[in-house]
Amino acid sequence: MPNNPVVASYVADFLKIDQLHVYRQLTGLNQEFDMHVFTHHRENVAYYPYLEKWLHVLPKPRLRWWRRFIHKQIKQEPWQMFGWELRRWLLALTRVDAQVLHIYFGHVAPQFIPLMKAWPHPVVVSYHGADAGVDMDKPRYRTAMQEVFRLAAQVQSRSIALSEDLVKLGCPPEKIALQRTGVPFDKWQFKPRTPPEDGAWHLLQSCRFIEKKGLDLTLQAFAEVVKQYAKARLTLAGSGPLREALQHQAEALGVAGSVTFPGFLHEGRLAPLVYDAHLCLHPSRTGKDGNREGVPNAMLEAMASGLPVVATNHGGIPEAIANGVSGLLVEENDAPALAQAVLRLIQDASLRSSIAQAGREAVEENFAREKQDARLAASYKELMAAAASRR
């Protein structure tokens, strides 16, 4: 029986704890393709098991930190692989007979410019949000990214808004393919929420604790909700550099006793919290470093489960939420408006119910895992066929 065609993917760290969406994409196609993964660091093995014969851990170059420091801090430019790294990559890709190389997260793609020039097969580069904004105000970074656009056979984007950002950076529109996050409905089934009789509304936000997620706005809004619903509670599930600051903010707002920080929860442990909650908040904003959202995965999973969402008019979020129909949207950095939207949902049972149902339908229409897996498989096959016809 012949082997499946081979797709090689590069993920610098396989896998960060919050990259379940990447794992789903890689494992969703392993019936049609041999999905080989190349990485410089293997982590979170218990969460992300992978077929060992398809997983290749590359040695880190000696003085890697020094190269990164010289290029990033002094030269203000992205670094590129050494000649010996290029030769090793060409040999490794040849050994597995890869027909496509998929580089995850566009900000690392400039490292691969020498390989993109030397390897005779298609290279796909996917952008997810922050990787299309950070450092793009620096001329050498922007020039390198434009070279990536020129060399890539396909540039994948998680949202239409992100695609527009890529075009502004210089990517030819005809190279961009919309590849949305895929949500598995077998794991996120619809369940209507029952309002609490005692006013103990449970609000939830699940994400990485970084600036663009707007967690400080969630706390400010929650402090207003508690003024009307003293038994309300908030769960902030996740981890990241802002955790301590958020805990201090909760104390300063006088709501620390009503806010829980359970840490990062993988899907199996997060799901019970999602189904226990009555409302989900996700007030994303553009960070000072240009970091923007594609479409938040946690928000999509909440919608799929039947949890009504209050979010912001930011990035790709409006592509998932029609304001007043499948969720409520407020402007970025507007905590009072966020609080008013939450209170509106709490006080309007009919609106909560209709938003919950429409939110599920919106995810089914545009973010179903089966549809997105099929879309990606078709992209790979098309790229392989085009390359074969040129040869």
Which pLDDT score is estimated for 310?
Answer: 98
pLDDT digits 0-9 by tens, 152-205: 999 999 999 999 999 999 999 999 999 999 999 999 999 999 999 999 999 999
**Tokens read off for 21:** 């969406």
Please tell me if the domain spanning 6-182+369-390 has the same topology as the one spanning 202-366.
yes
Cα–Cα distances in angstroms (integers) from residue 132 to residues 77, 152, 295, in the given order: 15, 15, 14
Is the confidence at residue 67, as pLDDT, over 60? yes
* Residue range 6-182+369-390, CATH number: 3.40.50.2000
Q: Say whether pLDDT at 330 is over 80.
A: yes
List the helix and strand counts (H, then E) for the chain. 13, 15
pLDDT tens across 369-391, in order?
Answer: 999 999 999 999 999 999 999 87
Residue 3: which residues within 8 A CB-CB, separation 6 or more? 34, 97
Provide Rg for the chain, Cα atoms: 22
CATH number 3.40.30.10 is the correct assignment for the domain at 202-366: no
Distances (CA, A) of 13 to 34, 38, 79, 169, 195: 20, 9, 18, 26, 41
What pLDDT was estimated at residue 1?
38
pLDDT at 198: 95
- For all residues of the chain together, what is the average pLDDT? 94
Instruction: Read off the pLDDT of residues 223-261 as tens digits, 9 standing for 90 and up.
Output: 999 999 999 999 999 999 999 999 999 999 999 999 999
Which of 36, 358, 348 is CA-nearest to residue 190?
358
Domain ranges of the chain: 6-182+369-390, 202-366
Distance, CA of 368 to CA of 365 (rounded, Å):
7
**Widest Cα–Cα separation across the chain:** 70
Q: pLDDT digit string (tens) for 75-97? A: 777 878 989 999 999 999 999 99
Residues sharing a CB contact under 8 Å with residue 207, sequence separation 6 or more, in sequence order:
213, 215, 237, 238, 282, 296, 298
Other beta carbons within 10 angstroms of residue 43's beta carbon come to: 12
- Average pLDDT score over residue span 286-313: 92
* pLDDT value of residue 65: 67
Q: What is the pTM of this model?
A: 0.93
Q: What is the pLDDT of residue 2?
A: 56
DSSP character string of 353-378: HHHHHHHHHHHHHH-BHHHHHHHHHH
Q: CA-CA-CA-CA torsion for 161, 164, 170, 171, nearest 10 degrees?
A: 80
Which H or E element spans position 13? Answer: strand 13-14
Distance of CA 83 to the CA centre of its chain: 32
Percent of the chain whose pLDDT exceeds 70: 97
